A and B are shown apart, each in its own frame.
Chain A
Amino acid sequence: MAKKTRIKAKLKKGIITVKAMAKHSMLGHQEAKKAKKDVNFITYMTATVNDKLVYEVSTSQFLSKNPYIKFKFKGAQKGDKVIISWVDLKGTTQTSIGKIK
């Protein structure tokens, strides 16, 4: 469906900083009423590296449109893949992959 999540991951002094932006309209109850569309927003997002969980968040309708997230973690190498996936209220899921630079 929609465009992929954009992922940028950078390794610096052993700490990896990941910036990611998901493409999602994040329609809360009020906004959906105004736009006459169905309520739909990302409810759950995770990031994994080498099958290990590095980021996990349960979210509500009050994240901004096209949610942008930034987080840090330790214990990964250059070239490792960051896999970010989310699921929204309607059960749509999307998985995107980024590489650590």
Chain B
Amino acid sequence: MNRRIFLTLGMSAFAVSLLPVNLKAMNFRDSKPKVWSATKVDQAMIELFGTSDAIESNMKIKAPDIAENGAVIPVTVSTKLNASKVAIFQDANPESTVAVFSVPENGIIDYSVRIKLGQTGTVTVVALADGKLYKASKLVKVTIGGCGG
């Protein structure tokens, strides 16, 4: 019995050692917890980047004009900027922040994710490059019932 307990302990210790924390990485959930409870895009941007002033250029966002299913909306963000952070926000759900990417050295900014929207809303992507913010946004219409509109 004791041996079994010992083995289980060993297993869980091994699992902990695999945690991504020891990779010198940044988890924005721990470092900036307020970002995730912000209810407005501007507010979330201020929490994350310190300002909400962004230039509307150099960013590309790809999302459908009309989504028949609000639970699965493919969003692609890409830019040629040498950005260090990229974030996705929307204004249809109770909280604004969807995802925050931090771009590693060899990363190319061309990220695709699938997000949920509770209703029609604007998806905004923001990138931080050379101390400046760049953004792009797109309106996604969510139709429930799937008949378009």
Interface residues of A (CB under 8 A from B): 15, 28-30, 43-44, 46, 48, 52-65, 67-76, 85, 87, 93, 95
> Which of A57, A71, A72 counts the most B-chain CB atoms under 10 A from its CB?
A57
Per-position contact with A for B9-20: 1 when CB-CB < 8 Å, else 0?
000000100111
Interface-lining segment among B95-103, B129-137, B140-148: B95-103
Contact B95 A60 (CB under 8 A): yes
A-B contact pairs, 26 of them (CB 8 A): A28-B116, A29-B94, A43-B29, A52-B106, A53-B24, A53-B25, A53-B104, A56-B103, A59-B98, A60-B98, A62-B90, A62-B93, A62-B115, A64-B71, A67-B113, A67-B114, A69-B113, A70-B76, A71-B108, A71-B110, A72-B108, A73-B106, A73-B108, A74-B108, A76-B106, A95-B18
Identity of the chain A residue whose Cβ is nearest the Cβ of B24 in the assembled complex: A53
A28 to B92, CA, bound (A): 14
CB B2 to nearest CB in A, in angstroms, measures 26
Interface residues of B (CB under 8 A from A): 15, 18-20, 23-29, 36, 71-73, 76, 90, 93-95, 97-108, 110-118
CB A25 to nearest CB in B, in angstroms, measures 12
Contact B27 A58 (CB under 8 A): yes
Is chain A's binding surface mostly helix, strand, loop or mixed?
A: strand
A95 to B25, CA, bound (A): 16
Identity of the chain A residue whose Cβ is nearest the Cβ of B70 in the assembled complex: A64
A70 to B113, CA, bound (A): 7
